[in-house]
């Protein structure tokens, strides 16, 4: 497991202040790089783009905010502080001091390893949206570059070589789908993952975007924590795949495995496949996967993506089939990472390994298989 970054530590502090201590007005701020600007840690309840304003240390001290550590890596702002009883204030301050020590340790580790921050390219015509996302990514430890239109997005991707492109669907000059297609056609940018941001959620749009080379989607309005989770997953996978067997990520193995669970929806989709109604099966399976994922029913989403992959394969669209197979693997992995049921965790890792292997992602398959393997006899946790 990677070292916990400062954003995660600050988020935990914000959660504990708001949940454990019931301080609904508490806010945690983190310093933006080496500047004197501080950015707020986004609440999990944020589901829409909002104007995020920076604050200087002078601003925050003037409002009575409490500094985090001697190096002032951040601040804790609690407007209702004066109304809190003294003993409770002491308990809260102890928690804040504990967080300050953890932040200082995380900063020291980061400086010692001297690893360059991962870089994200935000492509969106809305300057306010870019600013909001930039603030979230900065405090999460990412470097950020921006583009407002399609031609600039292509130019910036080639020049900056980001670890991920956060790409709007609707752009001036060249739309997001065409930007993705051109980036995937260019050997210099082919391997950079693309996460598409859209207000369009039709199945046809998603199929077209997958065909163009997009890896995943987020739909406005969204939870910023979900956005960070999707970005982190894609960046982590790219880092793994940098060491993959040459060409493994592009091996298109036809998905022949049938979803193992049955139910009315799976039975219906299977019937469409048997009738060779591949277009109908693809659209309905994608819709079913989207619905299940939205309800955090990751096993159902995975099964639907498997059937969507089979439909794409039947329609002789092997590249799309391969991408849908990887999405099935992603859903099984999310099942494993979110479940508390041992059997579901084992199923999730085992099936994600199988899906990634069939899609040609050998390193991802190996990583999932290692989690799926039972502990050796006599070993301890």
**Are 73 and 24 within one domain?**
yes
Question: Among the three residues 214, 242, 270, which one is the final residue of a domain in this structure?
Answer: 242
> Which residues, other chains included, contact 34 with Cβ-Cβ below 8 Å and sequence gap of 6+?
none
Q: Please list, in sequence order, all residues whose beta carbon lies within 8 angstroms of the beta carbon of residue 250, skipping any fewer than 6 positions away.
A: 360
Q: Are residues 306 and 287 in the same domain?
A: yes
Contact assessment for residue 110 and residue 132, using Cβ atoms and an 8 Å cutoff: no
Global model pTM greater than 0.85 = no
Longest dimension (CA), the chain: 72
Measured distance CA(304)–CA(307) in Å, rounded? 5
Q: What is the CATH number of the domain that holds 264?
A: 1.25.40
What's the distance, Cα to Cα, between the start and end of the chain in Å? 15
Closest CA to 201 of 279, 290, 297, 119: 290
What CA–CA distance (Å, rounded) separates 259 from 65?
54
Please list, in sequence order, all residues whose beta carbon lies within 8 angstroms of the beta carbon of residue 133, skipping any fewer than 6 positions away: 49, 122, 124, 166, 224, 227
Q: Answer yes or no: do 31 and 145 share one domain.
A: no
Tally of CB atoms within 10 A around 189 = 18
Considering its fold, how many domains does the chain have in total? 3
Strand locations in 125-261 (E): 143-147, 164-168, 194-198, 216-219
**Domain final residue pick, 66, 96, 113:** 113
Q: CA of 86: how far to CAs of 17, 92, 93, 262, in Å?
A: 16, 10, 11, 59
Residues 228, 280, single domain; the answer is no
Say yes or no: 266 and 360 in one domain.
yes
Does one domain contain both 183 and 287?
Answer: no
Beta-carbon count within 10 A of 304 CB: 29
Residue 368 shares a structural domain with residue 254: yes
147 and 206 in a single domain? The answer is: yes
pLDDT in tens, 305-346: 898 888 988 888 888 888 888 888 888 888 887 888 888 888
Give the residue numbers spanning the domain of 294: 249-372
Q: Which pLDDT tens digit goes with each residue over 46-76?
A: 444 444 567 888 888 888 899 988 888 889 9
Same domain, 214 and 265: no
109 and 123 belong to one structural domain: no
pLDDT tens digit at each of 381 positions of the chain: 334 467 777 877 887 887 788 887 888 888 877 778 887 776 544 444 444 567 888 888 888 899 988 888 889 998 888 889 999 999 999 888 888 888 787 777 666 555 567 899 999 999 888 888 887 787 777 889 999 999 999 999 999 999 999 999 888 888 888 999 999 999 999 889 999 887 765 677 777 778 788 888 887 777 777 788 788 878 877 765 554 433 333 333 333 444 444 566 777 888 888 888 888 888 888 888 888 887 888 888 888 889 888 898 888 888 888 888 888 888 888 888 788 888 888 888 888 877 877 766 655 555 555 655 554 444 443
Q: Token pair of 9, please?
A: 């530590």
Among residues 82, 113, 144, the one where a domain terminates is: 113
Report the CATH number that the domain containing residue 144 is assigned in CATH: 3.40.50.2300
């Amino acid at each position: 497991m990677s070292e916990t970054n400062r954003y995660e530590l600050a988020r935990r502090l914000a959660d504990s202040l708001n949940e454990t201590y019931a301080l609904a007005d508490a806010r945690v701020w983190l310093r933006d790089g080496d500047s004197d600007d501080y950015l707020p840690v986004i609440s999990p309840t944020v589901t829409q783009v909002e104007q995020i304003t920076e604050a200087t240390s002078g601003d925050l001290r003037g409002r009575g905010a409490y500094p985090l550590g001697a190096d002032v890596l951040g601040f804790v702002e609690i407007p209702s502080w004066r109304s809190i009883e003294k003993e409770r204030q002491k308990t809260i301050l102890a928690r804040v001091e504990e967080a300050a020590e953890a932040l200082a340790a995380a900063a020291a580790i980061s400086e010692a390893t001297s690893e360059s921050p991962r870089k994200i390219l935000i492509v969106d015509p809305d300057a306010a949206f870019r600013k909001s996302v930039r603030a979230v990514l900065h405090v999460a430890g990412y470097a950020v570059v921006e583009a407002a239109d399609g031609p600039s997005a292509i130019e910036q991707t080639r020049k900056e070589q980001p670890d991920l492109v956060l790409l709007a669907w609707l752009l001036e000059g060249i739309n997001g789908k065409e930007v993705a297609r051109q980036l995937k056609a260019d050997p210099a940018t082919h391997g950079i993952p693309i996460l598409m941001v859209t207000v369009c959620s039709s199945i046809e749009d998603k199929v077209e975007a997958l065909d163009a080379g997009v890896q995943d989607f987020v739909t406005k309005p969204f939870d910023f924590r979900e956005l960070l989770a999707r970005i982190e997953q894609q960046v982590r996978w790219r880092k793994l795949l940098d060491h993959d067997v040459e060409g493994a990520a592009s091996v298109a193995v036809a998905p022949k495995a049938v979803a193992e669970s049955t139910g009315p929806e799976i039975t219906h989709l299977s019937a469409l496949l048997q009738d060779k109604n591949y277009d109908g099966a693809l659209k309905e399976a994608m819709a079913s996967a989207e619905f299940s994922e939205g309800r955090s029913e990751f096993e159902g989403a995975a099964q639907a993506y498997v059937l969507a992959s089979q439909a794409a394969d039947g329609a002789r669209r092997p590249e799309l089939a391969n991408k849908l197979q990887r999405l099935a693997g992603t859903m099984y992995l999310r099942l494993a990472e979110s479940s508390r049921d041992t059997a579901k965790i084992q199923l999730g890792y085992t099936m994600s390994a199988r899906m990634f292997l069939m899609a040609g992602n050998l390193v991802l398959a190996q990583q999932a298989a290692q989690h799926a393997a039972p502990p050796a006899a006599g070993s301890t946790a």
